[in-house]
Chains A and B, each alone.
Chain A
Amino acid sequence: MRLDTLETGRKVRVVRINRGIKAAQQLTEMGIIPGVELELLAKHPLRGPIVIKLGNTRIALGRRLAGSIEVE
């Protein structure tokens, strides 16, 4: 499953990042790496950003970037 296709409120685990090194590095720096658990807090309409909760932080991600995160 891709992170951007989930509905709000789901808690998931990151499986892999299907993107190039640059995007993967941006995500990694924020702590979004395979194995971590996160919660989808909000999906802004009109393909707007999504907001996730990771540990005690909230991170906003563009839709394209979110689409490259595979979760289960």
Chain B
Amino acid sequence: MKAILVGNPNVGKSYVLNRLTGSRVFVSNYPGTSVETNRGLLTIGKKSIEMLDMPGIYSLYSDTKEAAMLREVLEQSPDLVIQVLDAVNLERNLVLTLELMERNLPLVLLLNQVDRARQLGLKIDSKALSRHLNVPVFPFSAVTGEGVLDLLEQLDKGVARSKEVQIIAWHDQVCQGCDGCSAEAVQSLASVDMKRFEQARILANKTIMQLDQVQLNWLDRIQNAVDHPLWGTIALLVLAYLSFMVLLHFINLSEGPITTLLEPLNRVLSEIIMEILPPGIVAQVLSKAVPEGIIIPFTIVMPAMLMVSILMALLEDTGILPRYSVALERVGRIFGLSGQAVIPLTLGLGCRTPAVVATRILPNTTQRFIAVTLLSIVVPCAATLGIMASVLSQFQASFPVVVGSLLLAFLLLSFILGRMNPQQEEFIYELPPLRIPTWDNVWIKIKARFAGFFTEIMPLLLIMSIAIRAILESGVLEYVQEMGRVTQVVFGIPSEAFVAVLLTIFQRYLAPLLLLNLTLTPREATIAITMIIISLPCLPVMVMTIRELGWKALGKIIAMGFAASFLMGIVLNMILP
């Protein structure tokens, strides 16, 4: 049996999926968290129900891919449709209900976040709603688990097909003097059935009671402050700066203790390898490369990944993240990006692979291309940030120059790309209410984001560490020294550092492994690090880009990445003392 979960964006569909099936789908507090269909399995007695959690839509007839996808799924007549509604905004959510009811599918309504509705003094008569619509309706809370048992009982019994209902006959409606039906309005809304809105409004009026005027709680007060046009924006910028500082300090502070802690292991490993293997080049390479490949991820990648995961989870779950898209809308507009682009670009600081998928919340392909290009070339991911911080301090390279170049490249690139996209999209975005993050959810996200450290980063760094050590010990680098004169003149860096820059084609955060084994002046290190940070998408990002935007787009992004990186190297070589 197949059931689909549908509903408006940010009503909590994925949370409901997690609650019902025990899945661990990412849930956050902003519209557009799930851009792909999530799946889960629910077993009640002998019945097993496959649940599909669809991306949120405002209307079945929206001009979006998500709505088209949902229409297609509904065409295949699923066995059950579960609409998740936001109990706090019932009226608007009911419009989608009425659209669904026209399809005569077995339908169940979950009035999610009913606990929050109560806090706001809303009393919803779910029985009356069920009577009017003739479908099962359950007050529900995915957070507390309220309503779960009632729903399971109903699912066990089975659900009948819904029938189209009419709360009022449209032509009987007495116009109460609003000129909402004036010719232009009706004309401009020709594609939308105003009837459903009227029906939804009447239904909501019949079933919701506002008990009393609610007192503003402290969360509402913070929300009002954050949404203030001037102070809110300043507060958001300060918050961003502070988060970045916390991140950098955390990386710097944790490196020492972690190194001290792992130092004995380092020595033991090295000795064991020397003992086991016969003396020679292999032992020499492995005895240095293996401990390095195991220690480096812990000292320079782990702290950054950990801190970024924590900060990101907090931004997402509080509902602060979408506020940045409003505050930065004006800046984005100059560069041809809509405010929503802030969300994938910020996610990219964690890991850029899921961020590429998250660009789906942008309104058109051109904007998605711009966002993916910026993500690939100028947004450093957590692993890169960690390496950047450590290599910078190792060589006493200039932090302001590296960060400044990165910002400059970001601005220039987005400005040029923005010219390519002259069409102005309308900005419209629903702001979620601020919430206190639950520790459980933050923890799930940290674990999920951090899993990549063991499955991807550690093995890769170990293998590359061995490869790089082999290159160093074999003396191959001496052959490229001939090239050194050219790279010194053009970029001001030795040929070995240039090889490191070229290695970034595989994985940006691997290249510094090679750098750490070289002797570089602060100036050389500054240029090399800048060229590495402004470079190419890593392999997983490349794969994702092909999937989302195609080969051609990836080709363009790689070409721009090389151009940006080399140009910045040349410019720095010319202007740095």
CB contacts (< 8 Å) of B433 on chain A: these are: 58
Interface string of B404-438 (1 = CB under 8 A from A): 00000000000000000000101111110100000
Q: Closest CB-CB distance, A37 to chain B, in whole Å?
A: 11
* B44 close to chain A: CB less than 8 A: no
Selected interface stretch from B14-22, B86-94, B468-476: B86-94
Chain A residues with a Cβ under 8 A of chain B = 13-31, 33-35, 41-49, 51, 55-62, 64-65
Question: Among B72-80, B306-314, B323-331, B392-400, which stretch is in contact with chain A?
Answer: B323-331
Also in contact, A45 and B229, with CB within 8 A (given A25-B63, A30-B58, A56-B120)? yes
Whether A48 pairs with B330 at a CB distance below 8 angstroms is yes
Q: Are B431 and A64 in contact (CB under 8 A)?
A: no
By a CB distance below 8 angstroms, the chain B residues around A48 are 229, 326, 329-330
Chain A residues whose C-beta falls within 8 Å of the C-beta of B89 in the assembled complex = 55-57
Closest CB in chain A relative to B530 CB, distance in Å: 32
Task: Please indicate the chain A residues that have their CB under 8 angstroms from the CB of B229 in the complex.
Answer: 42-45, 48
Residues of B within 8 A of A21 (CB): 188-191
User: Looking at the complex, which one of B182, B189, B224, B429 makes contact with A59 (CB distance below 8 Å)?
Assistant: B429
Q: Is B453 in the interface zone, CB < 8 Å from A?
A: no
User: Which one, B188, B192, B232, B339, contacts A20 given CB within 8 A?
Assistant: B188
A33 to B63, alpha carbons, bound, how many Å? 18
Minimum Cβ distance to chain A for residue B30 (Å): 12
Instruction: Name the residue of chain B whose CB is nearest to the CB of A52.
Output: B431
B59, B424, B429: the one contacting A64 at CB < 8 Å is: B424
Among candidates B92, B224, B227, residue contacting A55 with C-beta atoms closer than 8 Å: B92
Given contacts A31-B95, A45-B229, 9 further A-B contacts (CB under 8 A): A15-B179, A17-B189, A34-B181, A57-B88, A60-B329, A60-B430, A64-B424, A65-B426, A65-B428
Pairwise interchain contact B430-A57, C-beta atoms closer than 8 A: yes
Sample 9 A-B pairs with CB under 8 A, ordered by A number.
A18-B188, A19-B188, A31-B95, A34-B178, A34-B180, A42-B232, A44-B330, A46-B330, A57-B92
Whether A28 contacts B339 in the complex (CB less than 8 A), given A42-B227, A59-B431, A61-B428, comes out as no
Residues of B85-144 whose CB lies within 8 A of A:
88-89, 91-92, 95, 120
Q: Which residues of B contact A13 (CB under 8 A)?
A: 178
| A29 adjacent to B194 (CB under 8 Å) | no
Nearest CB in chain A to that of B179: its residue: A15
Asked whether B184 is an interface residue with its Cβ less than 8 Å from the other chain, the reply is yes
Q: CB within 8 Å of A: which of B211-227?
A: 224, 227
Partner of B428 from the list A15, A26, A34, A56 (CB cut-off 8 Å) is A26
The CA-CA distance from A44 to B426 in the complex, in Å, is: 16
Query: In the complex, A28 Cα to B428 Cα: how many Å?
Result: 11
List the B side residues contacting A45 at CB < 8 Å: 229-230
- Report the nearest B residue to A21, measured CB to CB: B191
B185 within 8 A of A: yes
Which residues of B from 317 to 340 have beta carbons under 8 Å from A? Answer: 325-327, 329-330, 339
Residues of chain B within 8 A of A20, CB atoms compared:
188
Interface centre among A33, A47, A56, by most B CB within 10 Å? Answer: A56
Chain B residues with CB under 8 A of A49: 326, 329, 339, 427
Q: In the complex, are the beta carbons of B431 and A58 less than 8 A apart?
A: yes
B197 at the interface (CB under 8 A from A): yes
Contact A44 B188 (CB under 8 A): no
